[in-house]
Structure 1
């Protein structure tokens, strides 16, 4: 997909006059995957996928199915999988400025419910996967994630999760800042606000990542890395 293709796919969502400024600035080139991609699953715990929780915008079975599908591909290809989730939020100091911004910061669901930070069984972390604990939107902020990825030889991240405009956006931006190639399968990220979801997908696609259809991402992964699995068998 060329930069022109990337621009064209957003026509209709973004006014032509605004798209022209991205063309003028040379934005939207495709980065692509490198030699060793990892899946980075951002915050897809029950807190954010189960409508019983106030932080979940609503039931989204298509998103959950997409997360399961891309997870299965990485497992089948024996490629590394990383997860991020919230760290302990029981103490107000650990919650930090969320105490001021979020009206539910001291509620049982948000601060003390152990199920909130567990994953649905279908794509929950396995023993060989890596879980990173965070207390701010970016899974890179004051965590060892970058050093883990460097040790693991990872040069590319396929970022999935919730929310597109919040923790996914923050993680993608920091991954780009750390010089990782970043791909976002558009069906495998979600947000409580459809407007914010689309706006942030567009902006990430122009500046920090390749936002591409899930089918395209899976096709590239399988075409490039399935042979490695067969050779190792």
Structure 2
């Protein structure tokens, strides 16, 4: 007996419900003037280190906070808290991605009107998160120089669902013989015109350019929000 039609129906219903919650979250974020950025990548790409550096650099200038998803432990939340920004862990258990309802629940007692930027770090996975809208304004997909240049070709859906790509750990590029031209070409082949940022959270290389892009994206979002 073929159960595929039933599985497809269940998946469709799950995604539909997620989209309903995500739309409500997006309306709530925009009403409060909070710009929301999500981060997706494979495990070990450097999301948490990159986000900790981002929070640390932004905190003196604006009100920032973060949600971080992981299968187990609160290790990432503890690391991000070193930035001094409010941080909350979302433990997903067996789920390999965050869902909009999880974000909604985590924010129940937060005053979003007191936040300029909220970052959501997804579970390390390049497949499942692509299908789940979290109500974010901007989705970043991270690729480290240690992963290989062909990740965009292997996981095109996540790159197509993102708004910008961030190549991390560029301080290691020479040591691992990373082919920057090939990586850029692969990203552009999957998502033509995508902005690409090359950064090192260790040396701060490229962080100023990324933060400038972030500020401009937030400004454009605020201009679109009805008064």
Query: How would you bin the TM-score normalised by the shorter chain?
Result: 0.3 to 0.5
Q: TM-score, normalised by structure 2?
A: 0.43
